[in-house]
Amino acid sequence: GKNFLAKTGPHKVKVIFFSKTGERASPFVRQISRNYWAYASFAFVLWREEESSIWWNTFEVESAPAIVFLKDPGVKPVVYYGSFNNSRLSEVMEQNKLQELPQLRSVTSMELGCDARGYSRAGSDTTIWYCVILAGRLSPELNKMREVSISAWILI
């Protein structure tokens, strides 16, 4: 567990599967990990009773089977218990694939209208465009700020 946390990038959600038997990932879990590789890093941990206090103190995991989602430092881990089928795991991954404050990267930039490949919501024929990211806690004030369209004229 410690090696996994140290090696994964800070911009991804960490997903830890706890198992009592130590079995390998099922085919649908491997497919989910391929589908969500840009959002999350995955690890499997064998649950041992002698280590249960470590897992409780670290991630608040009581028993296996369980799946833990670690989003951001300081944010309480999200824990799901029990076995999962393909559709339930897909649903849970979709709900937890983003961090609390998602990092701007190529996966999320298109949704925001800022694309590293040079396209914007203004259109591909726009010569100069600026990308402004507005971040904050959800509130009516933030929503008003997001609605404001910014135009800039550059005089040479």
pLDDT by position in tens, the chain (length 156): 667 877 877 778 999 999 988 777 888 899 999 999 988 999 988 899 998 898 899 889 999 999 999 987 778 899 999 988 888 999 999 998 887 655 555 556 666 566 656 555 556 666 665 666 666 666 777 666 666 544 433 333
Contacts 24+ apart (CB under 8 A), 104-112: 104/133, 105/11, 105/38, 107/38, 107/39
- What's this model's pTM, rounded to 2 decimal places? 0.63
Q: DSSP label at 64?
A: S
- 8 Å CB contact between 102 and 112: no
What is the CATH T-level fold of the domain 3-95, as seen in this structure? Glutaredoxin (3.40.30)
CA distance 38 to 110: 14
Q: Which of 88, 83, 97 is nearest to 35 (CA)?
A: 97
CA distance 77 to 99: 11
**For the chain, where do the domains classified as CATH 3.40.30.10 start and end?**
3-95
**Greatest alpha-carbon span in the chain:** 70
